[in-house]
Amino acid sequence: MKLKNLKRPRFNLAIIGGGKACCFFIDLIEKKFFQHLDIHIVGIYDLDPNAPGMLLAKKKKIITTTSFEKLFKIQDIDTVIDLANNQILPELIAKRPNNIGIIEHNIGKVLRKLFEVDQKLISNKEVACLDKSHYEILFKQTNIGVVVLDPEFEIVDANRIYLKGVKKLKKNVVGKKCYEIVRGFSSPCSLENPDLGCPFLKTLKTGKSSQVIHEQELPGGNTVYFNVTTYAIKNQRKEVVQIIELWRNITAKFTQKWQEKVKKIEADMKKVIQEDRLVSLGKLVASSVHEINNPIQGLLTFSHLMNDMVAKKNLEEKDLSKMRKFTSHMTRELERCGNIVSGLLAFSRESTLEFINMDISFIIDTIISLTSHKLKLSDIELKDNRSPLPFLVCGDINQLQQCFLNLIFNAIEAMPNGGQLSIRSGYDKTKNKIWVEIADNGCGIRDSAMEHIFDPFFTTKEVGEGTGLGLSIVYGIIKDHNGKVKVKTTPGQGTSFKVFLPCV
């Protein structure tokens, strides 16, 4: 009789243990791995009815049970395969019928080992396929850094651009953790610094692409910016087996956008300062109207008196003498009005930013002249205790005028019922800086508002009474002049602002 005509013996098997190894064994039987045996799985035992092997068996219409007694009642079982563990072997031996054989745990381990080898072969086959796609990407990229990572943060491969970016050889990178190579950390970035974004971890958790802007400081002090984007590589079971990171150098683009943004902010700041200047001009005009009105009334009086004299047919010497006095008074009053108007016109004039060397006293003198009318109307006494020495600073006249004008207006508004405003100046030798202090004995600033007084649009005034930009503009101007502003206040007693500027 020829071998091919031999009838294959039939074996009815029951499996103890419904784990992944059970699923593997069911698959082997279905694929007729044992070609010379007619094996049939007739039952599966596991304490967990939801174990993967139990669920698969139900789909295949194989009997499942959580009881040995029910398992051994299945008809025609020839052999039981233990794929679980040795702990249940004594109970299995005790409860099995004498006619049923047992393939015990050690032999079951061989089958499980076969399962593990099979899984590794599948994984290696998938990775081999992935490797081919990796290299197609790695060596075609000319301007993008590419690095391949496994789920344990280890670098599997990297292209020339990436290696150039981290300034390392390939042999010193492959097998190392990405956080060691990029940041010099001994543990993942998120553990070293929670504020550092990690697209690798996000992609590993979600399987979806992620990106972050990576900032890297070079030894020379320059900073390079990369757009790091991660993509997941998945196997046939949709598991993330590797992650590709693409590193795009966006320094030039990022710098250009940053410069454009800075220019826009500077333009907006200039616009805000000019608008604030117009608001200040409105306040000055309101107070100057009263100041101009007095000399105008005097001029009208002198004019009427002179008309009466001229109406006489013969002017006497005493009349001429009076007229000379009248014209002298009128000239002074007209000059006074002219000075007020000239000051307002000069202050309102928009000019380009220009830093020049100047005596800070010139700025303060101008501001005192512009605000003297408002101080009188507000019943505020001015104490000018400045140093007589000249203090040269480098700055823009208009911006510094606006700065000190805002501080004086702020002091006036803090004394609605009148008070005293003092201006002092001096020189700090240790820091080579001049300082100007403007202090009032007004209402002061409450503690809760102190940390916000330089914030844009922050105001303690009623709605419609202030924009909240005055002090923020002061802070911005002084910062642009490489200076500082210090504030001291006592609620109910007053506030002082001390401005420090570099001395030329």
Residue 451, exposed/middle/buried by CB under 10 A (0-12, 13-18, 19+)?
Answer: exposed
For residues 317 and 290, state if they share a domain: yes
Q: Are both 245 and 366 inside the same structural domain?
A: no
Q: Are residues 381 and 474 in the same domain?
A: yes
- My answer on whether 373 and 491 are in the same domain is yes
Sign of CA dihedral 22, 26, 28, 33: positive
Q: Are residues 315 and 425 in the same domain?
A: no
Domain-terminating residue out of 249, 282, 313: 249
- Give the model confidence (pLDDT) of 287-314 as tens digits: 666 667 667 777 777 787 778 777 776 7
The number of domains in the chain is: 4
Sign of CA dihedral 202, 203, 206, 210: positive
436 beta partners: 425, 499
Residue 87 pLDDT: 64
Which CATH number belongs to the domain containing residue 48 in this structure? 3.40.50.720
> With contact defined as beta carbons under 8 Å apart, do 159 and 145 qualify?
yes
Q: Does 134 reside within a domain?
A: no
Secondary structure of residue 140 in the 3-state scheme: coil
| Same domain as 441, residue 296 | no
List the beta strands (DSSP E) in 209-327: 210-217, 223-234, 240-249
The CATH number of the domain holding residue 378 is 3.30.565.10
CA 70 to chain centre: 64
Q: What predicted TM-score, i.e. pTM, was given to this entire model? A: 0.45
Q: What pLDDT score was predicted for residue 121?
A: 55
Query: 12: Cβ–Cβ under 8 A, 6 or more apart, which residues?
Result: 40, 42, 76, 77, 78, 79
Q: What is the per-residue pLDDT for 257?
A: 81
Mean of pLDDT values over 164-192: 87
Q: Partners of 498 in the beta sheet?
A: 437, 486
pLDDT for 108 beyond 60: no
CB of 203 closer than 8 Å to CB of 187 = no
Mean pLDDT confidence for 171-193: 87
Whether residues 93 and 161 fall in one domain: no
Provide the CATH number for the domain around residue 217: 3.30.450.20
Instruction: Tell the burial category of 210 from Cβ atoms under 10 Å away from its Cβ (0-12, 13-18, 19+).
Output: buried
- Asked if residue 46 is part of any domain, the answer here is yes
Do 503 and 447 lie in a common domain? yes
For residues 456 and 399, what is the distance between their CA atoms, to the nearest angstrom?
17
Both 177 and 304 in a single domain? no
Q: What is the DSSP track for 2-61?
A: -GGGSPPPEEEEEEE--SHHHHHHHHHHHTT-STT-EEEEEEEE-S-TTSHHHHHHHHTT
What is the mean predicted confidence (pLDDT) over 229-247? 85
For residues 445 and 498, membership in a common domain is answered with: yes
Q: What is the pLDDT of residues 184-207, one digit of tens each?
A: 888 888 788 877 778 898 998 898
Q: Residue 136 falls within a domain, yes or no?
A: no
124 falls within a domain: no
C-alpha angle 393-398-401 in degrees, rounded to nearest 5:
75
Contact 44, 53 (CB under 8 A): yes
- For 334, the domain range is 252-341
| pLDDT tier at 142, thresholds 50, 70, 90 | low
Q: Would you state the structure tokens that stand for residue 396, as one six-digit string?
A: 């823009």
Residue 393 has pLDDT above 50, yes or no: yes
The residue out of 249, 269, 302 marking a domain boundary is 249
Strands (E), 201-318: 210-217, 223-234, 240-249
Query: Of 341, 371, 404, which closes a domain?
Result: 341
State the pLDDT at residue 57.
Answer: 92
Q: What is the pLDDT of residues 39-96, one digit of tens each?
A: 889 999 998 999 999 999 999 999 999 988 888 888 888 888 887 765 666 777 777 7
Question: 425-462 pLDDT, tens per residue?
Answer: 999 988 899 999 999 999 998 888 888 787 766 666 55
**Residue 346 belongs to some domain of the structure:** no
- My answer on whether 12 and 90 are in the same domain is yes
Helix or strand (DSSP H, E) at 79: strand 79-82
Instruction: Kindly state whether residues 153 and 55 are assigned to the same domain.
Output: no
